[in-house]
């Protein structure tokens, strides 16, 4: 895996002939730094301005794909006319598109009950936050004392294990978070494949770019690689990722956005001359 800035000459060569680019990015830990409380993860004005500028480029389609609830994601990014994929791609809205995974939709009441059970089981542990995201659940424990981490895991498993054993749900771990999702054959990779099919221009395939920072993004990286796209891990020290390139931080992601816009400006100037 190579640092994207070091590999920029070859990446620029890959970008040049692409008539349509689908730019996809995770939110937390990618566009924004990881923070102790998820509600404090706000997009910087600079990042929003760069994404908005990219979305206005004729050759680009911009999508934000996140584990956050769809409405929360839309509110935080606040850019009109782009694609939002919430709940790891279980719910997607964009120009000419509205999608909700039907199995996940049917399980909304079940997840509401599960949220109540988890809130009760984990309510005595200081720093735990159980988030009901409609189609999925998240248990955040970044603010929990390290000595209490095992207690969080034990209480979580006590509630979740019986339902998981019946095949109704699946769980994954992220950065100080447990994710609970319907046990459907759907992930960020499948959501990205759907978007590539939906937003291709005529018979031409889009060149996909995807940035992510966590285990749930690995499915996305694999699909991007399958389509000969540009897969980028954001963070330090990831050796077992499927991504082909890496950036160290959301600050470097902002720099990359600027490089894409500058590259587009130069291409337009070359064409006009």
Structure tokens at 187: 């992930």
DSSP string for 204-239: BPPEEEEEE-SGGGHHHHHHHHHTT-EEEEESS---
Query: Can you name the residues that pair with 206 across neighbouring β-strands?
Result: none
Q: What's the distance, CA 211 to chain centroid?
A: 8
Q: Evaluate whether 127 touches 144 at the Cβ level (below 8 Å).
A: yes
Q: Which of 26, 213, 217, 219 is catalytic?
A: 26
Dmax over CA atoms of the chain, in Å, equals 68
CB atoms within 10 A of CB 50: 20
**Active-site residue, 213 included:** no
3-state secondary structure of 247: strand
Cα–Cα distance measured from residue 268 to residue 261, given in angstroms and rounded to the nearest whole number: 11
Q: What DSSP character marks residue 66?
A: -
78 — alpha (psi -120 to 50), left (phi > 0) or beta? Answer: left
Question: In which residue are the tokens 């997607």 written?
Answer: 92
Element (H, E) at 255: helix 250-272
Q: Evaluate whether 31 touches 253 at the Cβ level (below 8 Å).
A: yes
- Looking at the chain, which runs of residues are DSSP E strands? 2-3, 21-25, 60-65, 83-86, 91-94, 97-100, 129-132, 137-140, 169-174, 177-182, 207-212, 230-234, 245-247
The catalytic residue positions are 26
């Amino acid at each position: 895996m190579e640092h994207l800035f070091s590999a920029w000459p070859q990446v620029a060569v890959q970008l040049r002939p692409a008539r349509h680019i689908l730019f996809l990015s995770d939110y937390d830990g990618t566009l924004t730094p990881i923070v102790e409380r998820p509600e404090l993860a706000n997009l910087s004005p600079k990042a929003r301005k760069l994404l908005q500028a990219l979305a206005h480029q004729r050759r680009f389609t911009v999508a934000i794909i996140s584990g956050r609830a769809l409405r929360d994601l839309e509110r935080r990014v606040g850019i009109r006319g782009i694609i939002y994929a919430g709940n790891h791609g279980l719910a997607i809205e964009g120009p000419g598109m509205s999608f909700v995974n039907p199995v996940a939709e049917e399980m909304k009441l079940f997840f509401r009950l599960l949220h109540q059970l988890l809130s009760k089981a984990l309510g005595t542990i200081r720093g735990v936050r159980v988030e009901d995201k409609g189609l999925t659940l998240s248990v955040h424990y970044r603010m929990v004392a390290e000595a209490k981490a095992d207690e969080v895991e034990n209480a979580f498993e006590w509630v979740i294990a019986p339902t998981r054993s019946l095949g109704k749900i699946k769980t994954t771990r992220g950065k100080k978070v447990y994710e609970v999702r319907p046990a459907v054959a759907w992930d960020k990779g499948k959501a990205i494949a759907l978007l590539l099919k939906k937003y291709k221009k005529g018979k031409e395939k889009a060149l996909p770019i995807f940035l992510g920072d966590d285990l749930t993004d690995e499915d996305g990286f694999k699909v991007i690689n399958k389509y000969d796209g540009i897969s980028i891990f954001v963070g330090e020290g990831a050796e077992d990722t499927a991504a082909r390139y890496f950036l160290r931080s959301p600050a470097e992601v902002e720099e990359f956005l600027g490089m894409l816009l500058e590259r587009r400006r130069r291409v337009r100037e070359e064409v006009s001359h």
